[in-house]
Amino acid sequence: MSNKVDNLDDNYRRNDAKTEQYAKAYIDPYEKHLAVIKQMESMAKSPTSKIISDLINDHIFQSQFYKLLYDEYRGKLPIEEKTIAFDPDNNKPNNKMINDYRGEITKQHFSYSFGNPITYVNDESRYNATEYEKVDMAMTDFNAMNKMRSLDMKTAKFMGICGTSSRLLYVDVDKNLRAQHVSPWETIFIRDKAIDEVVYAMRYFPMKVYYGDEQLETRYYVEWYDREKVYYFQETKKKDFAPVAGSNGKSEEYHNFKSVPLIEFKNNDERLGDFNLVRALIDGYDHTVSCSQDEIDQFRNAYLIFENLGVDTDTLNKLRAQGALSIGEGGKVYWLVKEINDQFFENHKKTLQENVYKFSGTVDMSDEKFSGAGQSGESRKWKLKSIVDRAIIKQGQFEESIYDQYECIQTYWNLIGIPFNVLNLSIGFTPNIPVDSKYEAETSNILKGLVSEKTRLSRLSFIADPDEEIRAMEDEQELIQIPDDDDDKTDGDDEGNE
């Protein structure tokens, strides 16, 4: 057995050709998962080596496709493989221009939906004072210890890139409830569609295995989760899987929850990333821009033709020094250049660029139609509608997974005496959009007297609590009341008597 293991972040057993093929013909794993569920129910114990091997073999190309998408997001793009035909000596220009549309698309969707912190609010009215204090303290400690704001952002980012992300809950050695991000290429979820629940989940990743100080190999390490336990396996030399000791020295242990603690976060039901469907358009734009730059470079390296004129090295040196050349009768000097149809390239680039934004549901922020001085905040909102439409789906899926997470957390908190109930939890998203305060103020002024003050003030984005604002306005009015008329009359009578 190995005495040391290290997690690897590489493409173990990667095959890009098959990865692309898998991406174009996604295989629904439902039938395979249904068979696994039936087999596990008949055994009523940890999975077999064959179950693990079959799941990995079926999932491996999907896993590699997730890695491919993440690599593209980080700048490892197909344009880097661009070559020039009929140029064995590599003398021709071969530019490889990268345009980061993948990053811009991901950041636009991410910023709109998750640019502002997600709010988690427990309904205080459904607990007594003691219960609410325990629940509130547990929630506050959990969010602080796990840096939930940062974790939510990381989860949402990978959702946008790969179409799915994952999160693992566990209890550390100090009995603290922890949550960590898990890369989407490491996870397989076995969902029972009859009850619409994940009944098993598996995390697998390659690790370096040391045998003493001499031999080094790379093997898969597996964590298998059910509703009560986690089981540990490691790949053997024979490429099957054998139980291996975990951190507690045992090959299995209770994970302290009553449901599967590995949670999937989907970008949408199809698990499509934000730029998934426009990858070919972006690659086409990169190629067009790169080839255009090649043409420009070749134009700069144009050949000088001397027709009916003998030119030696001394003459060429004088030409370079003086910039002039005496030409006899019948002689000609001209450049051999290739005509560049720049209008064609520009039109083609514009078409590709417009389609990238259109089919990814994003906005060209540099477009005059969006960023022009004549554009109001309200008109920009309409131009953001495609982002809004996708945000509704993205936030809905994220909310569903958050509730799955807290349903799992509830089983542990209830076990240790914290009376948390996930049904009392509200989750809120605040879109990160530009606000036209002048437009809002003008609209609010028009509504004065037509609707209630609470309704009118609720339409102003910079007022968080309309009721509190109304109370503040009333208090302010009391402070600036005009002195009573009776006081004025008394002063006047005194002056008259005098």
pLDDT value at residue 5: 46
Mean pLDDT (whole number) for 65-88: 86
Check residue 163 and report its DSSP letter: S
DSSP string spanning 214-258? TEEEEEEEEEEE-SSEEEEEEE-TTS-EEE---TTSSSEEE-S-S
**Most confidently modeled range among 110-119, 293-302, 308-317, 408-417:** 408-417
Structure tokens at 289: 């821009």
**Most confidently modeled range among 250-259, 310-319, 379-388, 448-457:** 250-259
pLDDT value at residue 450: 81
Amino acid (1-letter code) at residue 27: I
pLDDT value at residue 421: 96
For the whole model, what pTM was predicted? 0.76
Model confidence pLDDT, tens digit, residues 267-303: 999 899 999 999 999 999 888 888 888 777 776 656 6
pLDDT value at residue 167: 97
Strands in 311-389 per DSSP E: 332-336
**Burial of 49 by CB count in 10 Å (0-12 exposed, 13-18 middle, 19+ buried)?**
middle
Closest-CA residue to 393 (of 260, 489, 251, 266): 266
Domain ranges of the chain: 1-76+164-266, 78-150+272-292+340-434, 303-336, 435-494
> Which distant-in-sequence residues (6+ apart) come within 8 Å of 440 by Cβ?
459, 460, 461, 462
CA 94 to chain centre: 32
> Which distant-in-sequence residues (6+ apart) come within 8 Å of 396 by Cβ?
none
Q: Rounded to an integer, what distance in angstroms lies between the CA atom of residue 114 and that of residue 153?
A: 7
Question: Is residue 363 scored above 50 in pLDDT?
Answer: yes
Mean pLDDT (whole number) for 399-427: 95
Query: What average pLDDT does the structure give for the chain?
Result: 82
Closest-CA residue to 112 (of 358, 356, 361): 361
Model confidence pLDDT, tens digit, residues 14-65: 455 555 655 554 556 677 788 888 888 887 678 999 999 999 988 888 899 9
Q: Rounded to an integer, what distance in angstroms lies between the CA atom of residue 183 and that of residue 66?
A: 9
DSSP string spanning 441-495? HHHHHHHBTTB-HHHHHHT-TT-S-HHHHHHHHHHHHHHTPPPPHHHHHHHHHHH
Closest-CA residue to 294 (of 81, 96, 88): 96
**Burial of 138 by CB count in 10 Å (0-12 exposed, 13-18 middle, 19+ buried)?**
buried
* Beta pairing partners, 217: 209
Check residue 173 and report its DSSP letter: T
SS (H, E, C) 54-81: HHHHHHHHHHHHHHHHHHHHCCCCHHHH
Q: How many residues does the chain have?
A: 498
Are the C-beta atoms of 169 and 257 separated by less than 8 Å?
yes
Model confidence pLDDT, tens digit, residues 234-246: 998 888 999 998 8
| CB < 8 Å & 24+ apart, contacts of 333-338 | 333/304, 333/305, 333/306, 333/307, 333/309, 334/304, 334/305, 334/307, 335/302, 335/303, 335/304, 335/305, 336/302, 336/303, 336/304, 336/305, 337/299, 337/302, 338/295, 338/298, 338/299, 338/302
Q: Rounded to an integer, what distance in angstroms lies between the CA atom of residue 94 and that of residue 176?
A: 55
pLDDT value at residue 498: 42
Are the C-beta atoms of 29 and 193 separated by less than 8 Å?
no
367 vs 472, residue with greater confidence: 472
Model confidence pLDDT, tens digit, residues 304-317: 677 766 777 777 77
> Which distant-in-sequence residues (6+ apart) come within 8 Å of 108 by Cβ?
362, 363, 387
pLDDT value at residue 247: 77
Q: Rounded to an integer, what distance in angstroms lies between the CA atom of residue 312 and that of residue 74?
A: 52
Amino acid (1-letter code) at residue 243: P
